[in-house]
Amino acid sequence: MVFNIQKYSLYDGPGIRTIVFFKGCPLRCQWCANPEGLERKFQVMYKESICSDCHACVDACPVGIHYIDEKGNHQVNRDIACTGCQECVAVCPMSALNITGEIRSISEVMEIIHEDDEFYEQSGGGVTLSGGECTAQPEAALALLQACKADGINTAIETCGHSRMDRLMAIAEYVDLFLYDLKHMDPVKHNKLTGISNERILENLTQLLEDGHDVHIRMPMLKMINDSKPEIEQIINFLLPYKDYPNFKGIDLLPYHKLGVNKYGQLGMEYPVDGDPSLSDDELDQIESWIKEYDFFVKVVRH
């Protein structure tokens, strides 16, 4: 089950890439930019601001997700499971509805991937599995990676690292590059920020590096959450033993952004982040300089 296949990405691995976004994730990061990827199920996304309250979707939905309240306004019952039939989307004259989630076969996804073979060859690009969390669908992720490698396509995955180690290592045999998130070293704070502790994440990261798999660390950066010098030094100290490993490919700093905020309302969810934890360019440059003091290759990824 996927929720998007995005072409021409330049930020998710080398070269020009196609990103396959898997649905389902074990973490609940407060700043998640893809809330439609958290649950492995069909979900209604509803843009209330452009709805004309024509009520066409109420009649079209076979399971009664859409209804009209006592004030005559369209509402979405989130307790009813969406079947993904798309009937409500088809009849909405304002394009106020979208169903996130598609069941795709490996061959269907590969057909889309192969449309851009020329770009991969010219740029050194390929395919990146993302999400959500692709390892939350381990059989599908493995099958897609195997198909890509069989066709000579470079592969990468973006991962939170929270997976059974045996499943992750089976997948790793077909991954050219791991884009591996490190959000916080403190397990209590990590649990507060993501809903889960980080012991398994750190164990998996250590195993990947020790086994020689190429890993590029990614650190989402948020003000007053994980940007202090002691917090950065905790990560540095953890990574120092691997700094000179040829398969350790460096560190990316990912500044907080609000690109996914509107999706929360469309899904009937509240956005968990209070205020604006964005870091200034100067603050990001300062964090970058702290890490460079230890001779790490590090850069701020500015889109």
Of 52, 72, 100, the one marking the end of a domain is: 100
Pairing type for strands 17-22 and 2-9 reads: antiparallel
Of 100, 127, 148, the one marking the end of a domain is: 100
The 10s digit of each residue's pLDDT in 131-184 is 999 999 999 999 999 999 999 999 999 999 999 999 999 999 999 999 999 999
pLDDT score of 303: 73
Direct distance between the N- and C-terminal alpha carbons of the chain, in angstroms, rounded to an integer: 28
| Residue whose C-alpha is closest to residue 57's, from 100, 86, 81 | 86
Q: pTM here?
A: 0.96
- Is 29 known as a binding-site position? yes
Is the domain of 240 the same as that of 292? yes
Is the domain of 295 the same as that of 152? yes
- Is 290 known as a binding-site position? no
- Is 148 known as a binding-site position? no
pLDDT score of 3: 98
Residue 32, pLDDT > 90, answer yes
Average pLDDT on 283-289 reads: 97
Whether the CB-CB separation of 133 and 141 falls below 8 Å is answered with no
Nearest-angstrom CA–CA distance, 140 and 116: 21
- Give the pLDDT band of residue 259 (cuts 50, 70, 90): confident
Is the domain of 133 the same as that of 200? yes
Of 69, 100, 131, the one marking the end of a domain is: 100
pLDDT score of 238: 98
- Is 183 known as a binding-site position? yes
- Is 88 known as a binding-site position? no
- Residue numbers of the domain that contains 73: 43-100
- Is 57 known as a binding-site position? yes
Is the domain of 192 the same as that of 256? yes
Question: Residue 128 forms beta bridges with which residues?
Answer: 19, 156
The 10s digit of each residue's pLDDT in 186-239 is 999 999 999 999 999 999 999 999 999 999 999 999 999 999 999 999 999 999
Please report, for the domain that includes residue 168, its CATH number.
3.20.20.70
Is the domain of 75 the same as that of 224? no
Spell 235-273 as b/e; 16+ CB within 10 A means b: bbeebeebeeeebbbebbbbbbeeeeeebbbbbeeebeb
- Is 54 known as a binding-site position? yes
- Is 176 known as a binding-site position? no
Average pLDDT on 102-129 reads: 98
Is the domain of 72 the same as that of 116? no
Is the domain of 139 the same as that of 267? yes
Nearest-angstrom CA–CA distance, 220 and 97: 31
Is the domain of 215 the same as that of 159? yes
Is the domain of 33 the same as that of 57? no
pLDDT score of 98: 98
- Give the pLDDT band of residue 302 (cuts 50, 70, 90): confident
- Is 25 known as a binding-site position? yes
Average pLDDT on 7-36 reads: 97
**Would you call 190 exposed, middle or buried from its count of C-beta atoms within 10 A (0-12, 13-18, 19+)?**
buried
Structure tokens belonging to residue 149: 């490698």
